[in-house]
Chain A
Amino acid sequence: MATQQTNLAGRVLVAPSVILLFVWMIVPLVMTLYFSTLNYSLIESFPLSFARLTNYTDFIHNPEFFAALLNTVILVVSVLVISVGGGILVALLMDQQIYGQSLVRLMVLAPFFVMPTVSALVWKNLLMNPVSGLFAWLTKSLGLPAVDWFNNWPMLSIILIVSWQWLPFASLILLTALQSFDEEQKEAATLDGAKALPFFFYLVLPHIARAITVVILIETIFLLNVFAEIAVTTGGGPGTATTNIAYLVFKQALLSYDIGSASAGGIIAVILANIVAIFLMRIVGKNLES
């Protein structure tokens, strides 16, 4: 009897969140799906009509789409390699017995709290400006020509900015994982005279493997959606050099007002994100059971 009451109360308490999230997820998604099958433009005044799958075929045959898909993959993979690789090194370093560890951690973590528009503009202007940016001065001091980052290496520039934002996240999560490493095991290995590299590969890496997976999956979900950093620096250019899927959909929808085609792109983005999400959910789900 009592449990029945608790169950009912439980349902009433959970219901608002569930209903809101359900509506939030289903309504726009269904609308996007619906729009993606229409000839629907906000500027051309032809009547709405059913387009079958032409939006998808158009979007896929659009040369910009292929460029955007490739850019998305390049951006995600590069940032993952830099932030996870760098994050492992930074975390290992911070996990040593060092003086002022908490201060170092504050400094390493800081970029994560910087809003995307600020980090993009600070890097673009103060650091990467080819005339009076700090990097230009550094290369000149070394006797090298200044690099015109955003014109000659647009994608690399975006990758550097985004990596700077995500390196702290990877470092912090991996440091947390490292710190749960058993001290006794560590000592035992040192006493047995384990060399640094085998120690890392056979003991440390397996221990933090799960944390690395979680970092990769969470970062991927965010990195598939990189938008502000591109919008305030390159606007997707020059040409399509820095247009990713997220930016391409934005451009089709809010700059070209082609709702049908942009919706098709949106659905493609959803599919890509879901492939990653399935893996993340499995890992989190397993953790929930334990």
Chain B
Amino acid sequence: MTATSARLDPPLLEVAALGRAFGPRRAVSNVSFSLRQGECLALFGPNGAGKTTLLRVLAGLLKPSAGNARLSGMELPGGPAARARVGLISHHTMLYEALTGRENVRFAARLHGITDQSRVDAALDRMAMLPRADTPVRSLSRGMQQRISIARAMVHSPRLVLADEPYNGLDESGARSLTSLLRALREAGTAIILVTHNLHEGLALATHAAIMKSGSFIRFDRKDAIDSTRYAERYRESLGASV
């Protein structure tokens, strides 16, 4: 694998003392980590921990109120060049219901300057949505909508994928498509931050794991240092201990 050579490259994403407050409420505070190409950070934590806010800052939707984050050396939120390298998947589908799946993905592609139709088809195909691509999104099931949404997020071949509870709403076959897609991306050198409540799925894909609570990382481990069988216990402990 490319593990050894990856270690010699500079990190793709560097986050230093990142904070984001909404008025008096600190949603994210003092988060630091770095991620190299091909690494996947599984991010766990209770609701309201700040995971979504963290991802939104990294996606360029929010400005940090403290600290900074750099993607390939570009300070986030960066301009168009930085946003072109990031793909955001959320539990909201971010789709236009009146349009078809294909039109939604094509629109996303055009926003990135991509006019090549085959990339649109390939993105849809990776999520096994090609057969239903010409149905208006509103007629699709939640799981299929989520698959279209994932295709939309990947059509521009981002270097960093931010996935906020992407398994939400997916049925088994959708979940399998997603896992194999994420794995393939990781092997091709894409960095991934995966927020999920599913410890098992998360750890299966991860190279690093973090637990977030009240805006900060209370644990950060390399995957090979984790005993997966005991991680669930550790997770509960960490949450209980940090009250």
Task: Please indicate whether A and B come from the same complex rather than being unrelated chains.
Answer: no
